[in-house]
Amino acid sequence: MLEFDGLHKSYGDNRVLQGVAFTVAPGSMFGFCGANGAGKTTTMRIAMGLALADAGEVRWYGRPLDTAVRRRIGYMPEERGLYPKMRVAEQVTYFARLHGLDAPAASRAAAEWTERLGLAERRGDRVEKLSLGNQQRVQLATALAGRPAVLILDEPFSGLDPVGVDSLAEALLEQCRQGVPVVFSSHQLDLVERLCDSVGILARGRIVASGPVPELRRREAGRVLRVVVPDAPHGWAAGLPGVRVVSEQAGDTLLALDPGTDDQAVLAAALRTGRVTHFGWREPTLVELFRDAVAAPAEVAA
């Protein structure tokens, strides 16, 4: 189990992290979401020993992370750390050696991951000659080639084309199938929702929502009602008490109901305007969950 336990970090008066805590089980993928400046990168840097927590710690199987454990982590930093003059295969091999592989194993790993991430034809090129997207692939190969016991990746999908996204997604899922816990941050919430077993939404230095995506969606279900009345006039629900129109398009209306508002009264109002073809509570998407969690007042969200 990879545990982030009560992390606090301040820079002067800026309280970057305020008790961040979550766990990642072996063979599971955790999506770390938050607006720019929320504290995602700081959390990952603390795990890698690149920043010191004011309080709290990160543990792997109950043991605080030290140099020996971190050597087994495949890490992709926010600021890419490649040697621009070094050739692609040479670079990936070098990082695999840093993670403890012998020379033949490192060479095999470099060949495998450059092939899988679409870099086979660029192995002899210097990194500085590559596009930013291909440099991203090289950085990912260096994180994966060392046979990591844990993966911690900061915005790994940034800059990748759809083919690169699919290749990396499959690689990460394969790592999970082999029992590796994966933590990655991303602003691409559709990918997080598709790939991750659990997510954590960070805002104002705190985890304001966390858990499996289906569970979070069910937890928030009942807040948005979808009503489809093809012949209803536009604005039919605007004056209903305790009801806020979220969106309305061609008879398909999303409504947010205040606590205590009777949904049957809404149904009766809809029937007065015409034939109702759909009426039901709608589970929110991860994007909607994210917006609500980030926008909530700190004392409520915490």
Question: Structure pTM?
Answer: 0.80
pLDDT in tens, 42-87: 999 999 999 999 999 999 999 899 888 898 899 998 777 889 999 9
Query: What are the pLDDT digits (tens) for 198-226?
Result: 999 998 889 988 888 888 877 765 578 89
- pLDDT (tens digit per residue) in 103-116: 999 999 999 999 99
Superfamily of domain 2-211: P-loop containing nucleotide triphosphate hydrolases (3.40.50.300)
Pairing of strands 224-228, 206-211: unpaired
- For residues 158 and 91, is the Cβ–Cβ distance under 8 A? no
Are 41 and 47 within 8 A, CB to CB? Answer: no
Contacts for 30 with CB less than 8 Å, ≥ 6 apart: 22, 24, 181, 182, 183, 184, 196, 197, 198, 199, 200
Angle CA(118)–CA(122)–CA(125) in degrees, nearest 5? 150
Q: What is the model's pLDDT at position 81? A: 80
pLDDT digits (tens, 9 = 90+) for 60-72: 999 899 888 898 8
pLDDT in the model for residue 161: 87
For residue 199, give every residue at least 6 positions away whose Cβ sits within 8 Å of its Cβ, in sequence order, or none: 30, 31, 32, 33, 192, 193, 209, 210, 211, 212, 213, 216, 286
